[in-house]
Structure 1
C-alpha cells in the first residue's frame, strides 16, 4: 500500500507541475505577442526586445551560454521596413491596415493621388503605372530584403464593395541596409557525455509592424515554438540527462531562414556532435495531429516517434513529409545533421496575418506534445548511447 500511495503522490505532483508548465507557456506566448514586442520584427526594436526576453529566461532557468560568455550570436542583413505612414483610401473611403489591406513587403513607399484603371477581375493599376491594387481572398504578409521601384497594395476582396476608380495613398518605407539581429542560444550540460548533444530550435522572430498602428502578433508562428522550447529548457534544467541539451532561438526565419543559415555557417558547437535536432515551429494547435518534415529521410527515427505516440496515445496522428526548406531545420539537414521539423495541424487557420493572436491559440496538443518530445529524446539518446 505504501508503494501505491507513493506512486499516486508522485503522479499527482508530476501532473500538478505540468499544469503549471501550461501556464508558463501561455504567459510566454502572451508576453511575446504583446504590443511591447511589436510582432518581434524590424521596427520599434521588437526583435531586439524579444531576444532580451529569451536571454533573461535562459538565465533565470540557470542555463549556460551555448558558447563562451554570450547567449547571443549577432549577424546582419538588409530588410525593407514600414515604420510609420500607412494610409489608403479608395474612392474616398479609408481602409484599415492589416484588416482591409496590406502593402506588399517589397513595396516602395509613396504619397500620391491618382485614378485607377481595371486590368482584370482582381487587378487595378494607377494611371501612372506605379501603383498596383491586387484583390485577395486572404491577406498574408511576409518580409523582404529588397525594394521594388513601384508599390503593390493587396486589398481584402471582402472589404471592397465597389469598383475603385480613385486612390489616395500615403505609405512610408525604409530599407535598412544593415539590420542587426541575434540568435539566442543556451545549453544544459550532460552529466556523463557533454559532447553528445540533442538540440531544440525555434525561431522567435515574426513579421513585425506595418505602419505605426498595426503589428502581427505571431502567436502560433512562432511564439508557440519558443514557449515549448523554454518549457523544455525549464524541464531539463532540473532533470539534466547524461547528454547535453542545447536550445537555440533563431532570428530572421521569416526573412529567409537567415538566422539558422548563419548559425550553420558559424556554428557555436561542432555540428558533428549533434545527435539529433528538433525544430519547433507552429506547435500551438493539434486537433488533427501533426506533420514531421524529414520523416522520409529518417525512417527509423520516425518509426520510433510513431511507436511512442501510439503506445501512449499522445497525438491523434503524425503524418510523414519529406525534405523541405520551410523552416530552420533545413540548413542543418543540408550539413548532414539528423533533424525533424514538427508542426501541429487543425484548429485556427490564422497564419502571417493580424489574427494570429494569443487569445485564440488553443494549445490543444501542447501537454502531450511536450511528453512526446521528452520520451522520444530520452529513448533515442539511450539507444545511441548503447550502440557500439
Structure 2
C-alpha cells in the first residue's frame, strides 16, 4: 500500500504546471519539425519556424511558450488502495499546487481564471480553481495528467447531437473551417464520440493527452473503427488547406485523436476540442516515494533553426501611412519599430462605449495600431 504525502502531491502538481509552461512535449516538437520539412507554402513554413524557435527559446530561458498560460486541467486516476497522509482534500491539494505554480517568483504565469463567470467575472489572481477529473481505479498509486489549456483553442470547441444515420466525417469537415485560425494551428484535434453530451466532450478533451503518434498509425495501419476515423480525418482535415496559423499549407493538424464510448440507440453525440500550437501537458505517477521527477528534455530534440530577418519589410510605426498598409499581404514579415499601443477586450469595449456616447477617447489613435495582446507578468526586475 502506497502512502502519498500531502506536500509531495502539492509540489508535484506545482512542478508539473511550471514544467509545461516552458517545455513542449517532445513528440509534438518532432511532429512539428517534420511538418516544417514537408511544408511548401513559404508563409506557413515561416510560421512553423517561428513556433519552433519560440519553443526552443522558452525551453532555454524557462519562460512561457504562450502568454495565455491556460486554465489548469488535471486528470487523476486514484488507486483504490492508496493511503493519504494529508489534512487537505485532494481537490484542495491540487489547487494549492496550481497556486504555487502560477505565483512562482522566477516564472510567474498569467492568471486567467475568473470567478462568477456570468456576473462580475472577478479574476481569482492565482489561476485557481483547477478543472479536475477523477477516476477511481485498481492499484495503489496515483496517475496524474496536468494540462494547461489556452482560451483561444477552448473557445473553438464544438459539440453536436447527430442522428445515428449522420456522417461523422462530414460534420467534422464542415465544422473545422468555421473555427478559422483562432485555435492557433498546427495543433491536434480531439474527437469524442458517444456516451452522453458531457461524456463526449470529456472524451474529446482526454484524447488530447495522448502522444502524437499518427505517423506510427499510418505505418502499421488501423485495427478498429476509431483508428480508421483518425486516419481519414487527418488526411481530409489537412486537405482543407487551412495550414499553420491559417496561412494555408499542408499541415493544419499534426494528429487527430478519437475516443468513443457506448451510447443510446437514438443518439450519436460528437464533440471536437482542438489543441493549439502551445500544446502543454505532462503525465506522471506517484507511489509514495516523494514528489514526481520530471526530466527536462534535451535541447537536441529541437531543430537548430535561425530566423532570417533580412527578408522582412521595415515599418516605422510613428510615420506609417494607410497607403503603406494597403501594400501588405498575408504572410508578409514586418519588422516593427516605433510606438505600438496594446489593448484587449476590456479596452476595446470601453472605447466602443465611449465612441457610442460621443465622448473623446483618452488616447489619440490617429495613425496608430492597437496590438490585440494579452498581458504578461514581469519576473523580478525584468
What is the TM-score of this pair, normalised by structure 2? 0.24
Please identify which structure carries the higher strand content.
1
Higher RCO by CA contacts (8 Å cutoff, separation 6 or greater): 2
